[in-house]
Amino acid sequence: MKIQSNKPQPAPAPPAPTKAASTTTAPRASSTTNTNTSTTTPASTSSNSYSTTRENLGSMHNLGSNLIQNFLVKQGNDTTRSAATAHTAATTSTAATASNSTTAPQLPAPPLQRGAQSSDVRDLQNHLVQTGHLTQADMNTGPGIFGPRTEAAVRSYQRANNLPATGIYDQSTAQAMSQTAPTPPTEPAPSTTVAPAAPLERGAHGEDVRALQQSLVDTGYLTQADMNSGPGNFGPRTEGGVRRFQRAHNLPVTGIYDQATSQALEQRLIQGPSFTPPPPPINESLPTSTQQANQSFLTQWGPTAYNDPAGSRDIPYGYSDCGPTSALMALNTLGLTQQPTPETAHSAIDAMRDSMYGHDTTTSNTMGFATLKNGLTAYGAQGIDLPVTRDPVQALSNIDNALQQGMPVILGTNKVWDAWGAEQKANGNYLNSRDPGGHFVTVLGRTPEGNYIVGDPLVKGGSIEVNPAQMEVALGAGSWGMVAVAPANNP
């Protein structure tokens, strides 16, 4: 989806080719010749503003309440663990720690801020870990990627050193860090801390809370600096540490220290801080590699190897058709449609857009989730609204639960460019030259290492592998909704 105020202009394209019959079957609203359809879009779907999208989201939560409730009940009982401590990231981080076992990390040159990805970011993260403002577990989710956790750690350091808490690693922050002696890393050893009795939750005070905080520090899910801000007080930082622990250990992400969390924490303390939880369980009905996912992949406009075999024409269909393209990728993955050939990809996307709007269309259109779900229904699928949350940890847990149940997830976000779009463009693998703004992508599956397989309609070369830290960037303040896709007859 494109938000028109941010819409980058595509290269001039020739007039739209004559519509070809799609290889993907879907009901059409009309078989008549297109006539001024671009100006006769129903009023209920003509607004493309961000506020309209948010209003659509609000109304969507009132639709299909029984279906959504059943899904959420199942979700609440699902103990699928996310990939926050994925094996590959942990291995990389362990190697980095080992290489710094005798010397303090090199401080990078400023500035660095959210969205940056480099070895300089890794050096900054190492310094934040050794000064107690970033947990090793948080760094393991994205070493070298400046995401929301690194930004929060920079803010924590700035507050502790009486600097403006901007979250940007600037000159004054670098200067202060150069005068801060990091704690040399030591050989990990099992903690002597004992997990306190449950339950405990936000608002609690006392020695049990202090013991919980120390346990989270010892296992790498709470920083010493965060504990020092309120020892014995169960506030938002302690709740965040509990959430991170739950998400990494296959537990419902509630932020409440309950009996199941207590048992897992006690076992984790016995195993020691060097223990890395196993990768999350994988639902084999969804792709577990980008190679598998490419059997469902499409781009939203050409020329590409997927949408234009000759590479000789710029297909005009689909410039703002990330919604229909994302929906087709989800349906292809579920086997409800077949991946169209390069010759027919543009007309398949066009047919999906027609189904979403309920009439024959000739141009690309922006849309919200309500319109997108019309197309899913027409193709024998259902779109299940996932809870809208500004907490990226909880949002990622919601995606994990859907994937574990065999449902790809269509995500609407404003942060694709920050999360991976700019990186893909730098590698020559992105159709847009700048931030596309509001955009739909589909999370198609998950790798055995715990990374996410994403079908971004603006990527040229197929599906991409995205780590949890990048997903959290996409799921932060820029996310406005998610829909899990399942067959209509799914129990």
Which is nearest to 438 in space by CA: 361, 385, 367, 356? 367
In this prediction, residue 346 carries a pLDDT of 82
Percent of the chain with pLDDT over 70: 69
CATH topology of domain 87-178: Muramoyl-pentapeptide Carboxypeptidase; domain 1 (1.10.101)
Query: How large is the average pLDDT for residues 94-108?
Result: 51
Give yes or no on whether 87-178 and 207-271 have one common fold. Answer: yes
Rounded-to-integer distance, Cα 397 and Cα 387, Å: 11
Grade residue 255 by pLDDT with cuts at 50, 70 and 90: confident
Strand partners, 459: 430
Any long-range contacts for 23-26 (C-beta under 8 Å, 24+ apart)?
23/338, 23/340, 23/341, 23/344, 23/348, 24/328, 24/337, 24/338, 24/340, 24/348, 24/351, 24/352, 24/379, 26/351, 26/352, 26/354, 26/355, 26/375, 26/378, 26/379
Give the pLDDT mean for 440-469.
Answer: 92
Q: Is the pLDDT of residue 132 over 90?
A: no
pLDDT at site 423: 92
- Residue scoring higher pLDDT (15 or 296): 296
Q: Is the peptide bond before 111 cis (omega within 30 degrees of 0)?
A: yes
The Cα–Cα gap between 203 and 458 comes to 45
**pLDDT tier for residue 183 given thresholds of 50, 70 and 90:** low
- Indicate the pLDDT class of residue 325, thresholds 50, 70 and 90: very high
274 close to 281: Cβ distance less than 8 angstroms: no
Is 4-27+44-80+283-487 assigned to CATH 2.30.110.10?
no
Position 145 scores a pLDDT of 86
Q: Tell me the pLDDT tens digit for each residue of 212-233.
A: 999 998 888 888 888 888 999 9
The confidence score (pLDDT) of residue 276 equals: 61
Rounded mean pLDDT, 352-363: 89
Contact status, residue 477 vs residue 381, Cβ threshold 8 Å: no
Asked whether the predicted pLDDT for residue 165 surpasses 60, the reply is: yes
Q: How is 400-441 classified by DSSP, letter by letter?
A: HHHHHTT--EEEEES-HIIIIIHHHHHTT-BS-SS---SEEE
207-271: CATH number: 1.10.101
Note the pLDDT tens digit of each residue in 403-438: 988 999 999 999 999 999 999 999 999 988 889 889
Domain extent listing, the chain: 4-27+44-80+283-487, 87-178, 207-271
